[in-house]
Amino acid sequence: MKNRYWFSIILILICLVPSGYATSQQTIHPEGSSDPSRDGVSHNLTEAVAAPSHQSENAATPELTTDDVTDWLDGFLPYALADGDIAGAVITIVQDDTIVANRGYGFADLAQRQPVDPETTLFRTGSISKLFMATAVMQLVEQGQLDLGQNVNAYLDFELPMPLGAITLEHLLTHTPGFEEVVSSFILSDADESTTLRDYLVNNIPSQVLPPGEVPAYSNYGSALAGYIVERVSGEAFEDYIDQHIFTPLGMEHATFRQPLPEGLAPAMSQGYRSRSDGQPQPFEIVSGAPAGSLSSSGVDMARFMIAHLNEGEGLLQPETTRLMHEYEMPGAEVQQLNSMVLGFRQQDRKGLNIIGHGGTTFLFRSELFLVPEKNVGVFISMNSSGIGISNAMIREHLLNAFMDRYFPVKDAPPVPLATAHEHGQVIAGTYEVSHRSVTNALAALAIMTQYQVSVSDEGTLHLSSPRGFFWF
């Protein structure tokens, strides 16, 4: 079977093994930008994305205008993509009800030298699809057709085993049903091997290995299941539901969950590459659990979705429902300062600002969407190559940090450790393993590779062992 069974293994290994991308000296001309007059040599990736972005005390904060953000992006993304060995990207920034920037960089088709068109070129958004699924669920909750607290078996036409406790839609939208990871046949390269959503769900039921509602453990299966419940309760195929109740109201004409792509949209689809230097287009990826990751969209259509959510759900949801999605607090959360899941979105709070969003990863495409509700700002980026090592993830991370530092800078006070920091840190120190893991299937052997050490310094700072060196005060 030509599936991506080893996809998750590859991602885990990429995350665990430090890459040499940051010291690569290859030069790839950043041509194909939506500003073809721009020329220059490739910068090292760390220089391109990690240059000082904070404002000095006397410097004026730049305004988030089309001219300023375009100049900033044109001085950042072409070089970052070149050093990351990425063929093309689209980035869209919105504020209030306006598209501030919608830019294409590089190529949608290397062989044809076809540049990325941010208006029409489609990118695979991966798990950003879950935001559309969650919006659909909340539409039906709003209409009284679904109950977030109801046992999901009440909505299914097959029995989902729940040995450790009842699973609800609330659990599915916050990744807390307690499922282990299952990856068999999740991403396929041959459309002939795909099955119906129901068949995928029935044939790949994961074991429930954690009590529901207690420990977040990311679950593509759980998200696909929530999408199937939308299908069951609405009486419409999931793709039809999204077309009628999200895409059409928002005027999203270059977006689809359908696989393979509809005839009218297929020519607009960007090719997917392992890397720009490899240059070989790969087959269109088929996501078996479609509601969890099959969306293809242009930048301008993602702008319409972001604007709707930033404007209290306008065109999709009532304001109170939208606020519930964005501001939900997980029951029993012990450490409120740490980011967690809201309904469908994940928190990415930074320097006192509430940020919500979601990332998306297929074998070939990498994407990120984040919203800053109190500033009424949203950013979407998608890249059509996996690139070198973790360069793609670093570009997205630095984009968020540099964007926020440039347009919404916050002067941080130096952290002052509490007198009890070391004592309390010793309670937390120890060996941890990720909750998003396999337990009863063959991939359980990888658990030893996803263990992390948390240690505490004499000053009370917590350190997490990882290639990226996380620490907390």
> Whose CA is closest to 221, among 140, 142, 133?
133
Here the CATH number for the domain that contains residue 250 is 3.40.710.10
Looking at residue 187, its pLDDT comes to 80
Looking at residue 469, its pLDDT comes to 52
Domain-embedded: residue 272: yes
Domain-embedded: residue 204: no
- Do 375 and 451 fall within a single domain? no
Of 385, 407, 429, the domain-final residue: 407
- Do 387 and 311 fall within a single domain? yes
Domain-embedded: residue 2: no
- Do 127 and 29 fall within a single domain? yes
The residue segments making up the domain with residue 254 are 7-53+62-132+237-407
Looking at residue 221, its pLDDT comes to 96
- Do 312 and 390 fall within a single domain? yes
Q: How far apart are the first and last CA of the chain?
A: 48
Domain-embedded: residue 199: no
Q: Are the CB atoms for 70 and 103 separated by under 8 Å?
A: yes
- Do 361 and 241 fall within a single domain? yes
- Residue numbers in the chain where pLDDT is lower than 70: 1-58, 183-185, 332-337, 441-445, 448, 466-473
- Do 446 and 399 fall within a single domain? no
Looking at residue 13, its pLDDT comes to 33
d(CA 271, CA 204): 29
Of 374, 407, 440, the domain-final residue: 407
> Whose CA is closest to 132, among 269, 242, 46, 220?
242
- Do 289 and 394 fall within a single domain? yes
Looking at residue 226, its pLDDT comes to 98
Domain-embedded: residue 164: no
- Do 38 and 102 fall within a single domain? yes
d(CA 336, CA 53): 28
Of 361, 380, 407, the domain-final residue: 407
CA angle 270, 303, 69 (to 5 degrees): 90
- Do 333 and 379 fall within a single domain? yes
- Do 262 and 293 fall within a single domain? yes
Amino acid at 135: T
Please give the tally of structural domains in the chain.
2
Query: Which residues are registered as beta bridge partners of 106?
Result: 88
Looking at residue 195, its pLDDT comes to 86
Domain-embedded: residue 388: yes
Looking at residue 289, its pLDDT comes to 95
- Do 338 and 395 fall within a single domain? yes
What 3 state SS string does the chain have? CCECCCHHHHHHHHHHCCCCHHHCCCCCCCCCCCCCCCCCCCCCHHHHHHCCCCCCCCCCCCCCCHHHHHHHHHCCHHHHHHHHCCCEEEEEEEECCEEEEEEEEEEEECCCCEECCCCCCEEECHHHHHHHHHHHHHHHHHCCCCCCCCEHHHHCCCCCCCCCCCCEHHHHHCCCCCECCCCCCCEECCHHHCCCHHHHHHHCCCCECCCCCCCCCCCHHHHHHHHHHHHHHHCCCHHHHHHHHHHHHHCCCCEECCCCCCCCCHHHECCEECCCCCCCCECCCEECCHHHCCCEECHHHHHHHHHHHHCCCCCCCCHHHHHHHHHCCCCCCCCCCCCCECCCCEECCECCECCEEEEEECCCCEEEEEEEHHHCEEEEEEECECCCCCHHHHHHHHHHHHHHHHHCCCCCCCCCCCCCHHHHHHHHCEEEECCCCCCCCHHHHHHHHHEEEEEECCCCCEEECCCCCEEEC
Looking at residue 193, its pLDDT comes to 75
Domain-embedded: residue 148: no
Domain-embedded: residue 393: yes
- Do 72 and 23 fall within a single domain? yes
